[in-house]
Chains A and B, each alone.
Chain A
Amino acid sequence: MLVSKTKRALTAIAGVALVLSATSAAADYALNLTPGVTPISHEAHTLHMLIMEVCAVIGLIVFGAMFISIIKHRKSRGVKPAQFHESTAVEIVWTIVPFLILVGMAIPATKALVAMEDTSDADLSIKVTGYQWRWGYDYVDDGVSFISTLATPKEEIYNQQPKGENYLLEVDHPLVVPVNKKVRLLITSNDVIHAWWVPKLGMKKDAIPGYINQMWFKIEKEGTYRGQCAELCGKDHGFMPIVVVAKNEADYQQWVADQKGVATADKEAAQRDWSKAELMARGEKVFTGTCAACHQASGEGIPGTFPALKGGAIATGPKADHLALVMHGKPGTAMASFAGQLSDTDLAAVVTYERNSWGNDTGDLVQPSEVKAAR
């Protein structure tokens, strides 16, 4: 009675909501866990369905008995209440039977868990580092490394532009992996605790400073898979998505070669002196992707939480101190150390940008070679 009423109300309200809302047109009303694209996610899905069905059957019996009682054993039907209040036999049965059901569920769960935690014999290892609020990826064997940041523009978030199909689930540099290879992730964090999770890969692991956690997956189908940070990590916790692109072996190798080319070009570029215009252009890009979340695009920060750079003591003070703060961070605050996250060129560019924007007219240029010397 109660359930059917609730259900009816739910359907009615769902109907009203559908009619009223324009955004609902883009929403799909997904109800269940997806089977995913890895052996692990298949197992998780199978177990999920099993335990849900077991719960449904138990629920049907218990609620069934209760509703029969509610309908039949009511005073308004003139029944006289029975006075029984114990039965050792019945009580033993309903202690033992649930216990046996639990044992029956624990066996497949144990098998699945053992398989999931077996990170041995990986074909490829990638170190994943959580930062507030982006992910860093280092391909341990191939020497490729990059930072992956939210690509959704602010205008979409603040409702000034229509939202794209992959709103909040798109990044500038996705994690690229080969299909049908056992990929092992070594997960850690640079600041607070994050969690790396892509639902279709079937596994979630916390990124914890001082720890290197492991998880693995073997993607069976080429494609793009999206997820998000799953552990509250501060202001922009909802804005650090994960995108994994699974490619076939040949495409993957091509991608690795391309990345190495980019890295070499970057290294060469760091050798030469950069012009102010070049540094400012690159600096703005780095600032928007890395710094603006806290210090704001206007450089004004958020009073009381994130200091202003516009006219700020650091950004207008000695150049070396400014560079040192960006490189090493400020312990005990959200200001992280960026020496490991950004290249010499990026650091030089962003410090130059901060010293010459929003009316900070220091005129200072920082060259990549200076950053290298400061390391």
Chain B
Amino acid sequence: MSTATTHDAHNEEHPSGLMRWVTTTNHKDIGTLYLLFALMMFIVGGAMAMIIRAELFEPGLQFVEPQFFNSMTTMHALVMIFGAVMPAFVGLANWLIPMMIGAPDMALPRMNNWSFWILPFAFAILLSTLFMEGGAPAGGWTMYPPLVLQTGNAFPFLIFSVHLMGISSIMGAINVIVTIVNMRAPGMTMMKMPLFVWTWLITAYLLIATMPVLAGAVTMLLTDRFFDTSFFNAAGGGDPVMFQHIFWFFGHPEVYILILPAFGIVSQIVPTFARKPLFGYSSMVYATASIAFLSFIVWAHHMFTVGMPLTGELFFMYATMLIAVPTGVKVFNWVSTMWRGAMTFETPMLFALGFVVMFTIGGFSGLMLAMAPVDFQYHDTYFVVAHFHYVLVTGAVFAIMGASYYWMPKWTGHMYDERLGKLHFWLSTISVNVLFFPQHFLGLAGMPRRIPDYSVQFAGFNEISSIGGFAFGLTQLLYVYIVFKTIKGGAKATDQVWEGAHGLEWTLPSPPPYHSFSTAPEVK
């Protein structure tokens, strides 16, 4: 690895202290910034979830007023989606893609710096609305008009922060695509790329295709409110349902933006700890591409109750059910990768296994929700809340945590505390199921989502769910401790770190040099 350490000394000159981070164009520094920012937002969004679960612990209003409760559900979603999960994936992409494809850095380093540094401002704007007259946005993260137009002074700040998040994501996505297309080492053909790189390439295309759509939709909201347009105002000849169509044309690909990189992560972790190559590499790639394609033609399954024509409902039901096929292929491939392997169960593998089981549970409830005639019962109930938390928390978030344990020794040069890591996994897994599994029952029994108070028949499971929520929340403080402990020190990690690890990133020293591959490695 001498090639990696000999490079132009000029490139190594960079400011130290705070300015190092503000002016950095280095993919590893920016990756770190993204990941730490995501962790911070995860704590902020989690605190909001604690308020929600505290209010729902018992029937009656105890802690917060309904308007503030609605602000909490709205802000929790925006912070977790745009502040925690998406930046965490971009952070992983920044750290890993150059190392995985044998490149020295990302293709567009200055844009990379900009796309990160927009985010703190976007979230400062969004979070500042908590202190504004009329309160923070409370119309749901889906921002449906006419309700969202009743937001107080926070309204334009909501729109502009969404614009900024969109710009940041689009720039991140452009960078990922340009890097992957142009900067692969000789011999690193497309069909040799690690699956994490593949899933991110496809995700980046989804981002570029849908973020402008969201930006357009919220801009129309802005002009409806301030410039007397009537895009979504029925009284002015507009159509409130049109917003939902535009929003979900963004929103459904968005949910795959939140899960495809997680598929990639799990496809890296499982072969390593099964000590066996990934089963069905090419079918994994094709399945990812099919999911991405289908994600563009299923959006209206979020809208089965708006009064679509029968043929529309049938089309969106069939298309949605179809997604189960490529998703199933992925799950079968992961299980086949484990089959007749020689598995060990370090923390990253535990998170990957937890992902496969619990994401699949979320997939099952997704399939149930796809059935329009039953969706009329499930829609807008806690069944939906349970569904998307299974795919997003035990799906996306578990994958991100697994990834952090898997690559942290590479990034920091230190092994994390295995005993604490396992404890973190088991506490998280138990509490997250206590938290979200009873919400299936609540939804089926008829509890609507987004309500601050409920009838007494729902008291039992809400109480259990809240207890699980508090436990899950506390457990994540342990995660923060483990992360910072690993950054500060720990047993020295070897270059390969894991016995079964394959791929270019494991050929670099731990921690890797500031510029990953100044001379392109040879890929056979």
Residue numbers of A with Cβ under 8 A of B are 2-3, 5-6, 9-10, 13-14, 17-18, 21, 23-24, 26-34, 41, 43-44, 47-48, 51-52, 55, 58-59, 62-63, 65-66, 69-70, 73-76, 79-87, 90-91, 94-95, 98-99, 102, 105-106, 109-110, 112-114, 116-117, 156-159, 163, 165-169, 191-193, 195, 197, 199, 202-206, 208-211, 213-214, 227-239, 302-305, 331-334
What chain A residues lie within 8 Å of B225 (beta carbons)?
332
A169 x B433 contact (CB < 8 A)? no
One digit per residue, 1 when the CB lies within 8 angstroms of any chain A CB and 0 when it does not, for chain B 453-495 equals 1111111110110011000000000000000000000000000
Nearest CB of A to B444, in Å:
5
Once the chains are docked, how many angstroms separate the CA of A24 from the CA of B314? Answer: 41
Q: Which 4 A-B pairs have the closest CB atoms?
A: A210-B234, A238-B451, A27-B460, A304-B133
Per-residue A-contact encoding for B39-67, CB less than 8 Å = 1, 0 else: 00000000000000000001111100011
Tell me if B339 counts as interface (CB < 8 A to partner A): yes
> B128 within 8 Å of A by Cβ?
no
The answer to whether residues A75 and B305 also contact, given A32-B444, A113-B373, A193-B147 and a CB cut-off of 8 A, is no
Residues of B within 8 A of A333 (CB): 150
Evaluate whether A117 and B453 lie within 8 angstroms (CB atoms) in the complex, with A62-B360, A82-B341 already known. no
Instruction: Please report the C-alpha to C-alpha distance between residue A233 and residue B150 in the assembled complex, in whole angstroms.
Output: 10
Q: Which of A51, A99, A159 has the most CB of B within 10 A?
A: A51
Interface residue ranges, B against A (CB under 8 Å): 58-62, 66-67, 70, 133-135, 138-140, 144, 146-147, 149-150, 152-153, 225, 234-235, 239-241, 274-283, 305-307, 310, 313-314, 317-318, 321-322, 324-325, 328-329, 331-332, 335-345, 353-354, 356-357, 360-361, 364, 367-368, 371-374, 376-377, 379-381, 429-430, 433-434, 437-438, 441, 444-446, 448-461, 463-464, 467-468
The answer to whether A112 touches B373, judged by C-beta atoms less than 8 angstroms apart, is yes
Contact of A229 among B339, B437, B448 (CB under 8 A): B448
Q: Which residues of B contact A65 (CB under 8 A)?
A: 335, 339
Q: Closest approach, in angstroms, between the C-beta of A32 and any C-beta of chain B? A: 5
Contacts A94-B332, A102-B325: A69 and B448 contacting too (C-beta < 8 A)? no
In whole Å, how far is B203's beta carbon from the nearest beta carbon of chain A?
23
Inter-subunit contact B459/A102 (CB<8 Å): no
Judge whether A235 and B70 touch: CB under 8 Å: yes
Residue of A nearest to B278 (CB): A85
**Neighbouring A residues of B368 by C-beta, 8 Å:** 48, 51-52, 55
Q: Which residues of A contact B281 (CB under 8 A)?
A: 85-86
- B463 in contact with A21 (CB, 8 Å): yes
Query: Please, which residues of chain A bring their CB within 8 A of the CB of B467?
Result: 13, 17
* A236 (CB) vs chain B CBs: closest residue: B66
Determine the chain A residues whose CB is within 8 A of the CB of B139 once the complex forms. 232, 234
Q: Distance (Å) between the CB of B76 and the closest chain A CB?
A: 14
For B133, the chain A residues whose CB sits under 8 A away are: 303-305
Question: A362 to B444, alpha carbons, bound, how many Å?
Answer: 53
Q: Flag if A27 contacts B380 (CB, 8 Å).
A: no
How near does chain B come to A236, taking the closest CB pair, in angstroms? 6
Minimal Cβ-Cβ distance residue in A for B153:
A304
Q: Would you call A305 and B60 a contact (CB within 8 A)?
A: no
Complexed CA–CA distance, A204 and B448 (Å):
11
Q: How far is the CB of A76 from chain B (nearest CB, A)?
A: 7
Chain A contacts for B62, CB-based, 8 A: 159
Query: Which among A169, A209, A213, A237 is the interface contact of B450 at CB below 8 angstroms?
Result: A237
Report B135 CB to chain A, min CB distance, Å.
Answer: 7
| Cα–Cα distance between A5 and B377 once the two chains are bound (Å) | 31
Neighbour of B134 across the interface among A23, A106, A304, CB < 8 A? A304
Contact at A83–B429, with CB atoms within 8 Å?
A: no
| Besides A116-B373, A213-B306, 4 other A-B contacts (C-beta < 8 A) | A6-B430, A62-B360, A63-B360, A234-B147
Closest to A233 in B: B147
B374/A51 in contact, CB under 8 A: yes
Q: CB within 8 A of B457: which of A28, A84, A158, A234? A: A28
CA distance A305 to B278 in the complex (A): 56
- Bound together, the chains give a CA A105 to CA B364 distance in angstroms of 13
Residues of B with C-beta under 8 A to A202: 376-377
Residues of B within 8 A of A191 (CB): 146
In the complex, what residues of A have CB within 8 A of residue B153's CB?
304
Contact between B459 and A24 (Cβ–Cβ < 8 Å)?
yes
Min distance, Cβ B297 to any Cβ of chain A, angstroms: 16
With a cutoff of 8 Å between Cβ atoms, the chain A residues found around residue B353 in the complex are 2, 66, 70
Question: Are A157 and B317 closer than 8 Å at their CB atoms?
Answer: no
Interface centre among A26, A73, A227 (most CB of B within 10 A): A73
Inter-chain contact A13/B371, CB cutoff 8 Å: no
CB distance from B353 to the nearest CB of A (A): 7
Q: Which residues of A contact B144 (CB under 8 A)?
A: 192-193, 232
**How distant is A196 from chain B, measured CB to nearest CB, in Å?**
9
Q: B241 touching A208 by the CB < 8 A rule?
A: yes
Contact B146 A193 (CB under 8 A): yes
* Of the residues B59, B276, B445, contact of A81 by C-beta under 8 Å: B276
- Please state if A62 and B335 are interface contacts (CB–CB under 8 Å): yes
B135 near A209 with CB under 8 A, answer no
Chain A residues within an 8 Å CB radius of B438: 10
Using CB atoms, name the residue of chain B closest to A6: B433
Chain B residues near A199 (CB, 8 Å)?
377, 445-446
B425 to chain A, nearest CB (A): 10
Q: Is the CB of A232 within 8 A of B235?
A: no
Q: How far is the CB of A266 from chain B (nearest CB, A)?
A: 29
Are B70 and A157 in contact (CB-based, < 8 A)?
no
Q: How far is the CA of A116 from the CA of B375 in the complex (A)?
A: 12
Find out whether the CB atom of A73 lies under 8 angstroms from the CB atom of B342: yes
| A30 touching B456, Cβ below 8 Å | no
Sampled A-B contacts (10; CB under 8 Å)? A24-B459, A31-B445, A55-B368, A66-B335, A156-B60, A214-B307, A230-B448, A238-B66, A302-B67, A304-B152
- B310 lies within 8 A of A113 (CB): yes
The answer to whether B343 touches A73, judged by C-beta atoms less than 8 angstroms apart, is yes
**Complex contact B305–A205 (CB within 8 A):** yes
Q: Which of A23, A63, A206, A237 contacts B456 (CB 8 A)?
A: A23
- With a CB–CB cut-off of 8 A, which chain A residues contact B239? 210
Q: Which residues on A sit within 8 Å (CB–CB) of B332?
A: 62, 94
**Which one of B134, B373, B453 has the highest number of Cβ atoms from chain A below 10 Å of its Cβ?**
B373
Contact between B448 and A210, CB atoms less than 8 A apart: no
* Docked CA distance A311–B334 (Å): 68
CA A229 to CA B441, docked complex, whole Å? 19
Q: Which A-chain residue is minimally distant from B441 (CB atoms)? A: A31
B contact residues around A302 at 8 Å (CB) = 67
Q: Closest CB-CB distance, A66 to chain B, in whole Å?
A: 5
Known A105-B321, A157-B61; contact A10-B441, beta-carbon cutoff 8 A:
no
Contact B453 A168 (CB under 8 A): yes
CB contact between B380 and one of A73, A158, A204 (< 8 Å): that residue: A204
Contact A113 B317 (CB under 8 A): yes
Contacts of B321 in A (CB 8 A): 102, 105-106
- CB neighbours (8 Å) of A59 from chain B are 360-361, 364
Min distance, Cβ A242 to any Cβ of chain B, angstroms: 11
- Asked if A69 contacts B457 (CB within 8 A), the reply is no
Q: How far is the CA of A229 from the CA of B146 in the complex (A)?
A: 16
CB distance from B1 to the nearest CB of A (A): 27
Distance to closest chain B CB from A80 (angstroms):
6
Considering the chains assembled together, what is the distance between the CA atoms of A69 and B336 in angstroms? 9
Task: Known A55-B367, A98-B328, A167-B59; judge A75-B275 contact (CB<8 A).
Answer: yes
- B463 with A210: CB separation less than 8 A: no
B contact residues around A195 at 8 Å (CB): 305, 379-380
A62 near B434 (CB under 8 angstroms)? Answer: no
- A358 and B59 CA atoms in complex are apart in Å by 32
Separation of A209 and B305 alpha carbons in the complex (Å): 14
Task: Please tell me if the beta carbons of B340 and A81 are within 8 angstroms of each other in the complex.
Answer: yes
A105 near B371 with CB under 8 A, answer yes
**Which residues on A sit within 8 Å (CB–CB) of B310?**
113-114, 117
CA distance A193 to B314 in the complex (A): 23
